[in-house]
Amino acid sequence: MIIGQIKEGIVLDHITAGKAMDIYNILKLGKLDCTVAMIKNADSEKMVKKDIIKIGTLLDINFDVLGYIDPGITVNIIREGKVAERRHLALPERVVGVIKCKNPRCITSIEQEIVHEFKLTDPNKKVYRCIYCEHQAK
C-alpha cells in the first residue's frame, strides 16, 4: 500500500493500534477540506502494531487532547515535504474542556458556563480528577 507524501501537514505517528478512529472523530478530521489518510494496524518494530494519521494541511491541534487520548503519540509537523518539528507527547498535567465531570453535584453540572478542568493525580494509573469536586474521570 502506498500513501502519498505530504508537502505541508501533520503526521500523527505511534498511535496505539485501534485508537486512530477516536482521534479522527475527536479532532473532527472528517470536516476538513484536505487529504486525511488513516493507516490502522501498521507493522511497527517498537509497538508491534500501530495506527498513523496523515493530515494534508497544517492546523492548530490541542496537544493536551492527544496526550490524554494516547500519550505515546509522536506529532510530526511537515513543511516543504520534510519534518520541520517533532513532538513526543505525554500525559498532560491538566486537561481543560475535554472531559466532562459526571458528578451531578459538581459546580460544573449546575453552572453551565464553567469550563470542565481535570488534573492528573496518578500518572501511573492515568487518573484525572475534577479540580472542583475531585470526582475521578472515567
What is the CATH classification number for the domain harbouring 59? 3.30.70.140
99 and 54 in a common domain: no
**26-52 pLDDT per residue, tens:** 889 999 999 999 999 999 988 899 999
Residue range of the domain that includes 112: 94-130
* Contacts of 21-24 spanning 24+ positions with Cβ under 8 A: 22/69, 23/53, 23/66, 23/69, 23/70, 24/53
> 118: which 3 cell numbers?
481535570
| Average pLDDT over the chain, rounded to an integer | 92
| 40-98: pLDDT as tens digits | 999 998 889 999 999 999 999 888 889 999 999 999 999 999 999 999 999 999 999 88
If one counts the domains in the chain, the total is 2
Grid cell of 26 as nine digits: 475527536
- Taking only the tens place, the pLDDT of each residue in 89-123 is 999 999 998 889 999 999 999 898 999 999 999 99
Residue 123 lies in a domain: yes
